[in-house]
Amino acid sequence: MSLWTRVQNLWQRKRLDEEIEAELAAHIELSVEDLTRGGMSEAEARRTARVRFGNPGVMKERVTSADAVLGLDVWWHDVHYAVRSLWRAPLLTVVAIAALSAGIGLNAGMFTLLNTLFLTPPTEKDPASFVQLYPLYEGWFTGAGQFPIFTTPDYEAIRAHAHSLAGVAAWYRTSTFLNGGNQRLDAFMVSCNYPEIFGMGAPQLGRYLRPDECKPGSEVQVAVLSDAIWRNDFGANPQMLGQTIRLNGLPLVVVGVMHPAISPFLPSGVMMPYTLQPRLEHGQNLLTSTGTPWLSMAGRLADGATGRTAQAELTTIMQQQDRTYKAHDTKAVDRKTNVALTDGSFIENPRVKDKVAGLMALILGPLSLVLLLACCNVAMLFLSRTVLRRGEIAVRLALGVSRARLARMLLVESLLMTGVAGLISLPLAYVVPELVLQAMGAEDGPPQVVSHPDWHVFGFLAAMIVLATIAASLAPMHAAWKLDLLSALKGREGAATMRSRMTNSLIVAQVAMSFVLIAAAVLFVRLPSIVRNMDAGFETRHLLEMSLDVDRSTPESRAKALILYRSVEERLRALPGVESMGYGTVTPYRLTPASSVRIGDDTATEGKPAVVNEVSLDLMKAVGASLEKGRFFAAGDVRGNAVAVISHAFAAQYFPGIDPIGRKIVAPDGKRLTVVGVAADLRSQQFGMADGPRLYTLQGADERDGNLYVRFSGDPKAMERAVKSAVMAVDPTQTPWLTTVWEDMERTAESFESLARIVVVMATIAMLLAVTGVYAVLSFVVSQRSREYGIRMVMGADRRAIFRAVLLRSSVKVGIGLALGLALAEPGMWIFKQVVANSPVPIRVFDPMLLGSSALILGLVAFAAMYVPAMRATKVDPMRALRME
């Protein structure tokens, strides 16, 4: 039978019924006619015909079923039936649909966000031809493999020789200061065909960059603003074109404003020709440097070129470049390059691939747990209902419904529910990304991520729904499948059959999953206060941290830089409130890799890891580190430069049990140093954790390495302003980045707070789901076993004993759930530790405080959920319970 006939039959059911009736009636009439013609009386003929024909009702059903064999009709019946049975328990349906919508909506929304941020190529125009180029270096400078970017000569070679690419754009992103303020702004230094390669469409004001503006030697200083910058910093001024803005003191004429529609693909910032780099950053000239890679590259495949041919050609070009380097530049002598092509999405970036995948797992993992919890709840609610409905199901089975058909009926029920929940969750998928971004409070104003769920997201949503359906219907199906017909029909199932192992494992699973989420919430909620309340080992509110942008690439520029530093120092010293200052190469709360330090005089011994901080004479005083033994650096040390101060941890680890004063060590640069002092440990690398072994070495008299640290008294804000104007009085092009260490920590704490808010919301949802689950199951069990409690009471058990018994029974499950949650949380914690490995957040893989407090929270809440049903068990009236027999 064709599908169309079946579908038609669906709507023509009534007409079809009438037709079959008419046909069968005609048969009887024909038969009566025949019999009367044979001489029978009409009444007798009719009776005979009827007897021969049999039961017309049964006949009609059989004929109908021949029409509807394998038909949609049966499904239609199931859907009808499902709607009816869902309607009959409205509260349950609403709760279940709400739980599922929240679960699916959160997941789909989060996936929409991740999809936009990580998985989507950064262009809307013909993404299939868009490729991003990643060079993979070997044998160049240390860590070159970590930088999949190109040097200027490499970019020029590819631009000139690559035929497989129809065009190639390069860009470099750096942080600058706008108009002498303290606000950081991203500068996008791009090749002038960047808008074309990225398919940016037309600008909303003015124009993009012209090709001549990127010609080497071009002095044109122009910029294009992103929509967000134009709105946030310039009040969407329609007269913006032709105005001059200053980035790092460099004047730029605004020639255009980008269209807001492209903002999801491009972070907000200011776009300008890449040839302006040396004028924007005084510290280094990347444009003419042959040894420093700095440009990212993307292009469009030429007609007929495939990713594979392009990759082969680009690798050949780059290897030709390797040979050129060999001939000219000794530093790059062993460089070997391969080129990888990707679709440009963030996750395909070889440098961050593992991390992004880990991050996605971390974000989606807990969310999937929420969905699973929701499914558990729905399953539990359905299961309890299936058990309550076992009489009805038994009757159906007795009437000959096959168990498969029954299972299908239950499946349709959950499918209907998850379908409705999926529809409801669709708007959530749109709203959630914006809420998350708002909660995260991204730094450069609100990012305008336009979330347009595409097929990735719809696919994800569909998979979620299917998963939810299967999960939600498995348990009830199982229960219906193994229903013992006879005892169910008699309505006398023993308590043993009733105690479903399934509900028990569901409770355990729910507790375990919410434990994971609560542990995550506790972790994040604690982070800000860890950052704020820790004792750094030095005073942080009145210690200013400042970096200057100074070119030190040549001897002449170094001499100029020294003059600049000296006059800045002079002016700062004259400021009222400034107490002391010094330079240090290790920035607090930025992870500095350890170098290898050899202990003793022998250079052949194995190096020990220690973080080396090259400091100026007064830094220790400025920071306020306390001395444990010996002395700090003195003015006389600078000339010989052969002394070192070590930290307490250094002494304890590498000079155990001996006095380190006077001992020799060899610094990573090969200098032999004598230890003259031991400083107390600081907590300046990870929040709340004592620093590992540290070595302080002394900078030369004319060196000014690292950041300048200024110890002052008085109001921090006023001091920041004073310092800034002092620096700009010396050099107006300097826009120093300055902050107190405390403010820096506070910013970190705030960013954790916003993250914590998101996690707490998720954990709260999870906990509510778990509590409803525990409560529902326990009250169901209690109501099922009221007879047993009645008998126990008649036998003399007092109410307290029953209360304890009920509580104990479920406490065991909660306990198992907690243990299982621990087993789940630990690997999650481990992944998290890997992802944040470079941040100053201390993550302990096994943290008894964290796990203990999470267990306590969950335990208390679970107790609250168990309390009410347990109380109800004690209120069972023995007489009524026994009469129910």
User: Which spans of this chain sit near other proteins (rule: CB under 8 A)?
Assistant: 1, 5, 19-20, 22-24, 26-27, 29-31, 33-34, 52-54, 58-59, 62-63, 65-67, 69
Nearer to other proteins, 23 or 705 (CB): 23
Angle at 883 between CA 882 and CA 885, to 5 degrees: 80
3-state DSSP of 699-744: CCCCCCCCEEEEEECCCHHHHHHHHHHHHHHHCCCCCCEEEEHHHH
List helix spans (H) across 731-847: 741-784, 786-794, 799-835
Beta strands 608-615 and 664-666: pairing type? unpaired
Q: What is the DSSP letter of 335?
A: -
Cβ atoms of 557 and 282 within 8 Å: the answer is: no
**Closest separation between CB of residue 32 and other proteins, Å?**
10
Cβ at position 364, least distance to other proteins in Å: 48
Q: Tally Cβ neighbours within 10 Å of residue 399.
A: 7
CB-based burial, 698-723: b 16+ in 10 Å, e otherwise: bbeeebbebbbbbbbeeebeebbebb
Measure the CA–CA gap between 707 and 567, rounded to whole angstroms. 16
Contact 421, 468 (CB under 8 A): yes
Residue 19 or 212 with smaller CB distance to other proteins: 19
Query: Given the complex with other proteins, which of 50 and 159 has the nearer CB atom?
Result: 50
- Which CB sits closer to other proteins, 31 or 784? 31
Asked if residues 172 and 277 have their Cβ atoms less than 8 Å apart, the reply is yes
DSSP for 223-268, written as a single string: EEE-HHHHHHHHTT-TT-TT-EEEETTEEEEEEEE--GGGTTTS-S
Paired tokens of 392: 């009805």
Q: Shortest approach of other proteins to residue 55 CB, angstroms? A: 9
As measured in angstroms, the least distance from the Cβ of 67 to other proteins is 5
- Residue closer to other proteins by CB (options 5, 626) is 5
Nearer to other proteins, 29 or 334 (CB): 29
Position of tokens 């060079």? 135
* CB-neighbour burial class of residue 323 (10 A; exposed 0-12, middle 13-18, buried 19+): exposed
CB 493 within 8 A of CB 390: yes
Give min distance, CB of 760 to other proteins, in A. Answer: 60
Closest approach of other proteins to the CB of residue 29, in Å: 6
Could you tell me the smallest distance in angstroms from the CB atom of residue 53 to other proteins? Answer: 6
Nearer to other proteins, 69 or 236 (CB): 69
Distance CA(169)–CA(747), nearest Å, equals 35
DSSP string, 377-407: HHHHHHHHHHHHTHHHHHHHHHTT--HHHHH
Please state whether beta strands 707-712 and 578-584 pair in parallel, antiparallel, or not at all (unpaired).
Answer: antiparallel
Nearer to other proteins by Cβ, of 59 and 440: the residue is 59
* 8-state DSSP, 117: I
By C-beta, is 63 or 95 nearer to other proteins?
63
E strand or H helix that includes residue 643 = strand 643-647
- The residue (of 1 and 401) whose beta carbon lies closer to other proteins is 1
Q: Which is nearer to other proteins, 57 or 593 (CB)?
A: 57
Least distance from other proteins to the Cβ atom of residue 410, Å = 29
Q: Minimum CB separation from other proteins for residue 64, in Å?
A: 8
Least distance (Å) from other proteins to the CB of residue 1? 4
Give 57 or 657: the residue with its C-beta nearer to other proteins. 57
Residue 424 CB, nearest approach to other proteins (Å): 39
CB of 72 to other proteins, least distance (A): 14
Give me the residue label for tokens 């310092």. 723
